[in-house]
């Protein structure tokens, strides 16, 4: 069974109906579980089943009248190539528009110039030279038809397949106008000169030119929505210096392989991830961590791609290259998010599916009503028919959601907030409870040893050495604090023959044939170790916001060690801002109640749930959800993974681990709680923008279609000219994309 998503680049789409058509035909394949098309990114995402083959998808898309190409592994040069291709496409569109306009402007002048009193050459006068008058218009219409030929090919092909789209509306409308005008030309040639007043060539030329102009402006604006990815990719140098077979050579970054030795000089960016093997330097990691102070790098330290070398020269071994680098993973996340759909888009998608056939029906109905019941001329009815078809294009509807998501997620990525999907973006604005893990989220996650209490004849140094020896195989933050303290005091460590970590309680270790137990009150009681009056020591330290651990040697209590974890500098400010936004903030921790309350008071948190084991955090989130709450869980992405998945929105803080990236809906690269505020506010701004776009898109079609059908004319008002309908249709799409681009001005800090 194949579970990995497959992505395809699409071409030939022009509106939401196109996207829905492709979705439908691909979903009908027996080897496809699900399929999603994003109009803004022109991307098809397929969830395959057993027996899947890409050829099936490519053929289905082709049969539907569009083109698809499988997306392979994206390299840096691929992005640059795509940007260049988009620019070239926009440039070609501009050339086509100028060509079409070069013929359409004289066409408008000939057809309407005399009506508004403009000077007019006598040889084109419709009374004196009717054949020249109609022939000139026919000739000047042909360039627009040639430039817009794609509308006719795609439009009629999709109409024949019973999948009409925007192109179908334009193709049918302008073809009707052109054929009727051509009929009038023939009549004039046969001497029926009254037909000079029944030409629609100018409508054909103007509609095609304006639609092309609208698409040009739309594509130009859409190009700016993907600037986030472009700016991220630009952080990686195109070339790098590596040492191969003892030779120093300069190669393309894409050609670096795992194990290559990369040489970096001051002022250069790191091309790939790796580990320092020689030299010392300071590296600016602010684009990853948000920390402005450069980090010292020595032999054995980890290097992250796209970070900036500051002072010294280093050689480092490449460990992650190409699509495996940290930056590449970030770019992939952003792409995934930009290509995803928010649930709010479902309504627009369903409407788009039936919209075009409905419009075709309304256009025919309106024309017949005016011709048959109202007794208007064929010319009048045809004008109504064309205007309805042209104004009703659902482009704006299809672009309303994806463009806003592209800009919103891109804005987040630029500021270290990686929103993984449209679903997460939408869910975040509905959150009313923020659950914060304590260690590493509210606090630094780097506790230091504060107290060593002895309860028997054992000395302080011996107790600390015993604890450090037992903890030397543990990666727990508390263990690291003890080990750092022992190292600072230059204490020797004994070998450990057996080690067992008990989740949420502590550890059991064998040190020099002695059983050592280190942990909380629960662990001691589990092994029936008498605590006596020393419980008061635990409570006293807990009230000071310290985490205390009992130490037992061969089932006898011998001491107590305590560590403290300082809250992050921005935690209090972030929590205050979340509360000001009307959100309920809850701190969740495995610490004792006293310790948790001490930290909570310092951080400004009102609600505390303490003594929770890692596997119980998801239950806490579930309990809040049963109360009707929409929960966002913020944690470090490791022991908090089940809770991150359970919550409506899982937020992993820190540039952390693969688990964080896998489990969370949003990843905060800067390890700053203020970015939680940013994520929520960005979600609110994006959803507001989407709702604005959908409102105007719906309003445009709701108001535009009745006007085009002649509703105002019934009450003595004006009739909508097909050319004005084309102008309105084009600029409705542009307005939606332009409104989405306003999100780029979203202020991160406020």
CB 27 within 8 A of CB 37: no
- Secondary structure (DSSP) of 532-574: GGGHHHHHHHHHTTEEEEEEEETTEEEEEEEEE-PBPTTHHHH
Rounded CA-CA distance 680/463 in Å is: 47
Question: 560 phi and psi, to 5 degrees?
Answer: -145, 130
Structure tokens at 109: 């002048």
Catalytic residue, from 260, 273, 349, 437: name it.
437
Rounded CA-CA distance 206/208 in Å is: 6
Rounded CA-CA distance 263/240 in Å is: 8
Rounded CA-CA distance 356/389 in Å is: 9
The number of residues in the chain equals: 750
- Secondary structure (DSSP) of 9-57: EEES--SHHHHHHHHHHHHTSTTEEEEEEETTTTEEEEEE-TT--HHHH
Place of tokens 């990853």: 288
Question: 314 phi and psi, to 5 degrees?
Answer: -135, 155
Which alpha helices (DSSP H) does 226-263 contain, by range? 227-233
First and final CA of the chain: distance in angstroms?
48
CB 473 within 8 A of CB 493: no
Rounded CA-CA distance 583/631 in Å is: 10
C-beta contacts of 735-738 below 8 A and 24+ residues apart: 735/396, 735/696, 736/396, 736/399, 736/400, 736/403, 736/693, 736/696, 736/697, 737/217, 737/218, 737/221, 737/222, 737/225, 737/399, 737/403, 738/221
Mind spelling out the 3-state secondary structure of 477-511?
A: HHHHHHHHHHHHCCCCCCCEEEEEEECCCEEEEEE
- Using alpha carbons, select from 625, 626, 585, 623 the residue that is nearest to residue 604: 585
Q: Which secondary-structure segment (H or E) carries 158?
A: helix 149-160
437 is catalytic: yes
* Beta-ladder partners of 511: 496, 514
130 Rama class: left (phi>0) / alpha (psi -120 to 50) / beta: alpha
Q: Output DSSP code: residue 269.
A: B
Structure tokens at 213: 């102009």
Q: Are strands 631-635 and 433-437 parallel, antiparallel or unpaired?
A: parallel
* Beta-ladder partners of 453: 560
| Residues classed as catalytic | 437
């Amino acid at each position: 069974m194949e579970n990995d998503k497959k992505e395809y680049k699409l071409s030939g789409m022009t509106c939401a109906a196109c996207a829905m058509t492709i979705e439908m035909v691909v979903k009908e394949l027996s080897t496809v579980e699900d399929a999603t098309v994003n109009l803004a990114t022109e991307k098809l995402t397929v969830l395959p089943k057993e027996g899947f083959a890409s050829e099936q998808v490519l053929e289905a898309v082709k049969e539907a009248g569009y083109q698809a190409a499988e997306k392979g592994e994206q390299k840096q040069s691929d992005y640059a190539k795509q940007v260049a291709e988009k620019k070239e496409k926009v440039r070609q569109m501009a050339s086509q528009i100028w060509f079409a306009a070069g013929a359409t402007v004289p066409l408008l002048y000939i057809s309407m110039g005399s009506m508004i009193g403009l000077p007019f050459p006598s040889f084109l006068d419709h009374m004196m030279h009717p054949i020249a008058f109609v022939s000139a218009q026919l000739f000047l219409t042909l360039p627009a038809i040639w430039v817009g030929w794609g509308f006719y090919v795609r439009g009629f092909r999709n109409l024949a397949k019973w999948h009409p789209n925007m192109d179908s509306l334009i193709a049918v409308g302008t073809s009707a106008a052109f054929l009727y005008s051509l009929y009038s030309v023939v009549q004039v040639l046969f001497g029926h000169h009254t037909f000079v007043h029944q030409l629609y060539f100018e409508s054909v030329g103007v509609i095609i030119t304006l639609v092309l102009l609208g698409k040009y402006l739309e594509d130009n604006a859409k190009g700016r929505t993907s600037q986030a990815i472009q700016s991220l990719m630009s952080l990686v140098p195109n070339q790098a210096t590596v040492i191969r077979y003892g030779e120093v050579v300069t190669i393309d970054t894409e050609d670096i392989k795992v194990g290559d030795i990369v040489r970096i000089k001051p002022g250069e960016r790191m091309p790939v991830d790796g580990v320092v093997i020689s030299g010392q330097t300071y590296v600016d990691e602010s684009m990853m961590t948000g920390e402005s102070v450069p980090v010292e790098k020595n032999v054995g330290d980890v290097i992250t791609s796209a970070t900036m070398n500051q002072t010294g020269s280093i050689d480092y071994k490449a460990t992650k290259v190409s699509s495996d680098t940290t930056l590449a993973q970030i770019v992939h996340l952003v792409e995934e998010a930009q290509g995803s759909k928010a649930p709010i888009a479902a309504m627009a998608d369903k409407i788009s599916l039936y919209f075009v056939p409905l419009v075709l029906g309304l256009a025919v109905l309106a024309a017949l009503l005016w011709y048959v019941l109202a007794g208007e001329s064929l010319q009048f009815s045809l004008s109504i028919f064309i205007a309805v078809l042209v104004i009703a294009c659902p482009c704006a509807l299809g672009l309303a959601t994806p463009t806003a998501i592209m800009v919103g997620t891109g804005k987040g990525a630029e500021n270290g907030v990686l929103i993984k999907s449209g679903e997460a973006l939408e869910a975040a604005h509905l959150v009313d409870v923020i659950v914060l893990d304590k260690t590493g989220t509210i606090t630094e996650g780097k506790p230091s040893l504060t107290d060593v209490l002895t309860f028997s004849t054992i000395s302080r140094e011996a107790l600390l050495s015993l604890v450090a020896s037992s903890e030397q195989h543990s990666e727990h933050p508390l263990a690291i604090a003890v080990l750092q303290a022992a190292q600072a005091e230059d204490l020797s460590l004994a070998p450990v023959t057996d080690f067992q970590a008990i989740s949420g309680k502590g550890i059991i270790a064998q040190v020099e044939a002695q059983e050592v137990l280190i942990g909380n009150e629960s662990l001691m009681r589990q092994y029936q170790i008498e605590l006596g009056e020393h419980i008061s020591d635990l409570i006293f330290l807990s009230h000071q916001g310290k985490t205390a651990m009992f130490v037992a040697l061969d089932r006898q209590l011998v001491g107590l060690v305590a560590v403290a974890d300082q809250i992050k500098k921005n935690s209090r400010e972030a929590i205050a801002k979340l509360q000001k936004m009307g959100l309920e903030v809850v701190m969740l921790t495995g610490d004792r109640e006293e310790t948790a309350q001490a930290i909570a008071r310092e951080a400004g948190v009102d609600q505390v749930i303490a003594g929770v084991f890692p596997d119980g955090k998801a239950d806490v989130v579930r309990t809040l959800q049963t109360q009707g709450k929409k929960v966002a869980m913020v944690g470090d992405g490791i022991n908090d993974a089940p809770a991150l998945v359970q919550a409506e929105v899982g937020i992993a803080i820190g540039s952390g681990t693969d688990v964080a990236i896998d489990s969370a809906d949003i990843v905060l690269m800067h390890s700053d709680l203020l970015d939680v505020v940013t994520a929520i506010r960005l979600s609110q701004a994006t959803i507001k923008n989407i709702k604005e776009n959908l409102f105007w898109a719906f309003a445009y079609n709701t108001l535009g279609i009745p006007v085009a059908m002649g509703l105002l004319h019934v009450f003595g008002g004006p009739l909508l000219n097909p050319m004005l309908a084309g102008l309105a249709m084009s600029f409705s799409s542009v307005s939606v994309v332009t409104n989405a681009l306003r999100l780029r001005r979203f202020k991160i800090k406020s």
